[in-house]
Structure 1
Amino acid sequence: MAERRDAAVDSGPAVGGLPAADRLRAALRPRIGVDPRALAAFRFALGAVLLVDLALRARNLTAFYTDAGVLPRDLLAESYPLARFSLYALSGEAWAAGVLFVVAAVAAVALAVGYRTRVSAAVSLALLASLQARNPFVLNAGDTLLWQLLGAGLLCPLGARWSADAVRRRGAPRDDGSPPRNARFAGPASALLLSVVVGVYVSNAVVKLRGEAWPAGEAVERVFRLTYLHGPLGGLMPESPALMAAATYGWLGLLVASPLLVAAAGRLRAALAGTLVAAHLSMAFTLQIGVFSAVSAIGLLPFFPPFVWDRTESLAAPTAGRFRSAVAGISGSLSEGPAAIDPPSRLLPDRPTRARALAAVAALLLVSLLAWNAMGLGVVAAPEPVAAVSDPGDSDWDMFAPSPPSTDSLVLATATTADGDRVDALYGDPVAADRPTSDARGYPTARWRKHLSLLSADEPERIDAERVDATLAYLCDRAADLSGEETASMTLASVEVDVTGSGEVRVREKVRVREIGTRECR
């Protein structure tokens, strides 16, 4: 339900001059309501992150999304039978995946500018779900959060402000009882959107507090000991135990305080959301965790209250004016008169009916989300039908919890050419004939790290031999492309190094090499 400025309707005992029901609504709206301009910023950021995600994935399109890569469709069907319904699984060719990438990029651009917003959001969600289903072995928490935010946003009026749709609707008669243009959007859909974000923080806080490293102030220092997690600036972090302890307690404090994102309002809520955004952006530069930081940051935009968007709108007024003029000009050149405004479809229910249907769907999803998070934390037991299908305890929200890893995880991918030369199949560098363990390197991308770490399980029975062989076969071809020579054999091994201490007394000890697999390439 959208916030209304109607006169109060007596629906209960009057308390303090207002009916009790109206007092409750007045208290809830600043907390579960979202400014339509916040939804507009959220929509634009979603479109931008979808484009960035596609660009990052495109670097390894053949490797992860074709039959010539590490997960051919027959292996995908064995591991995840339902994934065969993915649009990306209709063909195993690189050109087909490339076409879908282009379509997804067009839908993301349309979502960002707010053109046919709900349609572009639905298309983006369908293509994102298909892309993630095509290779579940390279996903992380950021991917899960991205589709959840996009799905929750689909039920909200993302195109109400700062959008091509809003410009095209300008001047159309408002006979659907819609609220004033800057009134908060409040109801089950807005509560669902906010709950997705708060649920991540609360779940992560609970799991972190169950461990020892975070309450002891040691966790962040442990994370930055791991070179394989270093982002662009990760190696430049000051190695000060006091600073790392402060960062640990600071982040843990933000997680514990996260319920204030909905319990508080006004400047306190804005300050907490702003601090969390800054923390996530700092992670983007210091840690190799894919799009997780960016997705988390955009999930916080709906929490910013109206005074933030009043200021933003005043600063962006000149640009917004040019955008409105451009869109209005394009719309006018396509058609004239009332037909230029979205005509009501005879195939769709009227807007109030659609609004009620969306609210009902959002309410059902909200209850399901809260129940799932409660089951994941062990607050309530999972019903047998749920437990038989999946384990809510296998949550994506245990990032570096209850304790960060204490082992630096590296990889040796050594290809031997037909001439006897040796090449790093992941990076293309020449390597020594007797490649030492000290030559092990980190992973090219966060998705390669996820894929290879799942192949090097501690228990041999958990290792999927067919996926290992497919990976080796792909690396044979990759090494040949990088070196320009035919590849004779390929060996892949993981290297684990225990790291203790910090700064000048950092010690790397107990090096363990585990061969993942070897293969003749000819």
Structure 2
Amino acid sequence: MDERRDAAVDASGSAADGAGSTIDDAEPSVRGRLPAALRRRIGIDVRALAAFRIALGAVLLVDLALRARNLTAFYTDAGVLPRSLLAESSPLARFSLYAVSGEAWFVGLLFLIAAVAAVALAVGYRTRIAAAVSLVLLASLQARNPFVLNAGDTLLWQLLGAGLLCPLGARWSVDAVRRRAALGGRSLPESSRFTGPQSALLLTVVVAVYVSNAVVKLRGEAWPAGEAVGTVFRLTYLHGPLGGLMPESPALLAAVTYGWLALLVASPLLVAAAGRVRAALAGILVAAHLSMAFTLQIGVFPVVSATALLPFCPPFVWDRIESLAAPEIGRFRSMAERLLRSLRSTRPGSTLVDLASKIVPDRATRERLVAVIAALLLVSLLAWTAMGVGVVDAPEPVVAVSDPAESDWDMFAPEPPSTDALVLATATTADGDRTDALHGDPVATDRTPSDARGYPTARWRKHFSLLSADDTDRIDATLAHLCDRAAGFSGAETEAVTVSAVEVDVVGSEEIWVREAGTRECR
């Protein structure tokens, strides 16, 4: 079997990019069958880590591009959450780099730095530094506006943090090419597995999401009854590009509901199983998540989830991919070698290198330290997940800080929403014309609830869903921004903006509720 043929990463490859160890699986008689089986399940092929790294970099770029569409709205003082309001609602936000300035140019500069770090991560250049910079900037960005986040955002930073402890640059990277050159052109081993607390942590982060969501869904009624997916696709505000094309067949929708629930329940097999069983389950989950990207408007969650499953793919998958992509890998290696040659003239002087060697711990110490950190995080994650699903009771001091039961993994659980959430955002110009303040197109003078529309993006929807009626400061800031937004759309001065939330029952009477969120004079 391919798993039995896995060789260890050489010392230079392992140490250059992470802590932990790579263990040869070809000695089950010496090590014992149980340890060998455990290594197969918590170990990760270093090529899987490379693919995971590339996908993470790409997802970070996509996330930045999607956020950049509303950079002013969500991350500047001219938007819906000025820093003065942020400090009141989220004390930890003062540590965000994005809260240093409320100007759009400064936020744009940080976006650019984050994009450069994401590209460096994707190509594997100074991988650990790139991952660390990406993590700091991602956490800062999310802290700048916590009212537009969803489960995908939480999972993304957790994956990036867990990946930071693994040798993401061991293969298919500029760092790997540099190590190969340092070894005199000798090739790295063809197939290897990274095993340690770090790999166990990364895999557990993913499985914990599925297990937690499965437990919460099973406590509801719609999922065990096979009705949940049908309800979800009646929510027009969630429709992605192909969301409206889902057939309204009760039998088909029930089958999809039970199929997805079965995948969630079976998710522990991602760790408990190995080989083709694990590959098949991971592949089906990836396909399911990618289908969500086309049918549901839920931000980056589908692509983040698909990325999270790459480390579960066993060696035979990467053997096949590597054989098919050999020409591209060769071209990348040549490009990386040219890049390294061009950068050699800018390498730091020997004095700086000597100083760094005195400050940074030696390789063995770093490996032990990273392994200890990963082990502590793994134990904490397991305990948090157990408390979150009710296996054990959370201590009062823990609940006082953050209740594990109120996790981010309750997507569409225990029940999916039963009302379609739409919005009427109407701006009136000095000439009496009406413009949709969110979408920018002209609208009728007297808009009825039937004119209500979905939100422009998933983040706008999240913002309004967390905008409570008694939060007058945030409502006023939102309306003030919509005044400027509408003026930008129409090119004319905006006199007033009115926003109303419209909810439509999708599971029973189809009753419509209209609630005015607020009105503001723009002059």
**TM-score, scaled to structure 2:** 0.92
1:474 to 474, 478, 481: 481
RMSD value, Cα? 2.1
Match of 1:492 among 499, 503, 507: 499
C-alpha distance in 1 between matches for 2:232 and 2:342: 56
Higher mean alpha-carbon deviation, 287-296 vs 482-491, is at: 482-491
CA drift of 1:329 comes to 2.1
Aligned partners of 2:405, 2:272: CA distance in 1, in Å?
26
Gapped regions of structure 2 (runs ≥ 5)? 1-19
Query: Pairwise mapping of residues 189-338 of structure 1 onto structure 2 (< 5 A)?
Result: 189-335=198-344
Listed one character per residue, the Cα deviations across residues 23-49 of structure 1 (whole Å, up to 9, x for unaligned) are 332111110000000000000000000
Please tell me whether residue 422 in structure 1 is matched to residue 441 in structure 2: no
String of CA shifts for 1:270-295, please: whole Å, max 9, x gaps.
Answer: 00000000000000000000000000
Does residue 1:366 correspond to 2:385, yes or no? no
CA offsets per residue over residues 20-73 of structure 1, 9 Å max, x none? Answer: xx4332111110000000000000000000000000000000000000000000
**Which deviations, in whole Å up to 9, do the C-alpha atoms of 1:143-195 show, x marking residues without a partner?**
00000000000000000000000001114359xxxx95632101100000000
Counterpart CA distance in 2 for 1:124 and 1:483 is 37
Q: Which residue number corresponds to residue 96 of structure 1? A: 106
- Matched residue SS, 1:238: coil
Matches within 5 A, 1:392-403: 392-403=404-415
Give identity over the alignment, percent: 77
Question: Structure 1 stretch 266-275 or stretch 413-422: which is displaced more?
Answer: 413-422
Deviation at 1:333, TM superposition (A): 3.6
Indicate whether 1:68 and 2:64 are aligned.
no
Closer/same/farther in 2, CA of residues 256 and 111 from structure 1, 3 Å limit = same
Match of 2:56 in 1: 46
Residues 328-368 of structure 1: CA deviation (Å, up to 9, x unaligned)? 122224338x9999978513222121111100000000011
Q: Does structure 2 retain, via aligned residues, the 8 Å contact 1:331–1:340?
A: no
The offset of 1:373, in angstroms, is 1.0
Q: How many residues align?
A: 497
Paired with 2:334 and 2:471, the residues of 1 have a C-alpha distance of: 57
Instruction: Name the CA distance, whole Å, in 1 between partners of 2:292 and 2:160.
Output: 22
Which has the larger displacement, 31-40 or 313-322?
313-322
Q: 1:228 and 1:447 mapped to 2: Cα distance?
A: 12
Change (3 A) 1:25 1:442: same
Decide whether the 8 Å contact of 1:332 with 1:340 is kept in 2: no
- The alignment partner of 1:185 has SS state of strand
Q: Deviations over 1:448-479 (max 9, x none)?
A: 00001111x4xx4xx31100000000001111
C-alpha separation in 2, matches of 1:323 and 1:429: 46
Give the AA of the match of 1:103.
I
> Which runs of no fewer than 5 residues in structure 1 stay unpaired?
9-15, 502-507
What is the distance in 1 between the residues matched to 2:353 and 2:26? 31
One-letter amino acid of the counterpart of residue 512, structure 1: W
- Give a deviation string over 1:356-395, Cα, whole Å, max 9, x none: 1100000000011111111111221112221111111111
Residues 422 and 453, structure 2, Cα contact 8 Å, conserved in 1:
yes
Shift of 1:7: 9.4
**Kept in 2: contact 1:2–1:186 (CA 8 A):** yes
Aligned to 1:515: 516
Q: Contact 1:35/1:182 (CA < 8 Å) preserved in 2?
A: yes
Contact 1:168 1:340 in 2 (8 A): no
What is the aligned counterpart of 1:386 among 398, 403, 407?
A: 398
| Counterpart for residue 166 of structure 2 | 156
Residues 304, 74 of structure 1: alpha-carbon distance in 2 compared, 3 angstrom cutoff: same
Given the alignment, which residue of 436, 449, 462 partners 2:461? 449
Instruction: Map Cα deviations across residues 177-217 of structure 1 (whole Å, 9 max, x no partner).
Output: xx956321011000000000000000000000000100111
Distance 1:334 1:408, change over 3 A: closer
1:454–1:334 Cα change, 3 Å:
closer
Hey, what's the Cα distance between the residues in 1 that align with 2:415 and 2:169?
41
TM-score, normalised by the number of residues in structure 1: 0.92
Q: Distance in 2 between matches of 1:4 and 1:493?
A: 60
Q: Distance in 1 between matches of 2:62 and 2:29?
A: 52
Instruction: Give the whole-Å Cα distance in 2 for the aligned partners of 1:233 and 1:36.
Output: 36
Q: Which amino acid aligns with 2:516?
A: E
Q: CA deviation at 1:3?
A: 3.1
The worse-fitting range, judged by mean Cα deviation, of 23-32 and 90-99 is: 23-32
Tell me: CA distance 1:7–1:268, structure 2 relative to 1, closer, same or farther (3 Å). Answer: closer
User: What is the CA–CA distance in structure 2 between the aligned matches of 1:395 and 1:4, rounded to whole Å?
Assistant: 35
Letter in 2 for 1:193: L
Are residues 1:144 and 2:162 paired?
Answer: no
Distance change >3 Å, CA 434–CA 7, structure 1 → 2: closer
Aligned structure 1 segments of 4 or more residues deviating by more than 4 angstroms? 16-19, 338-345
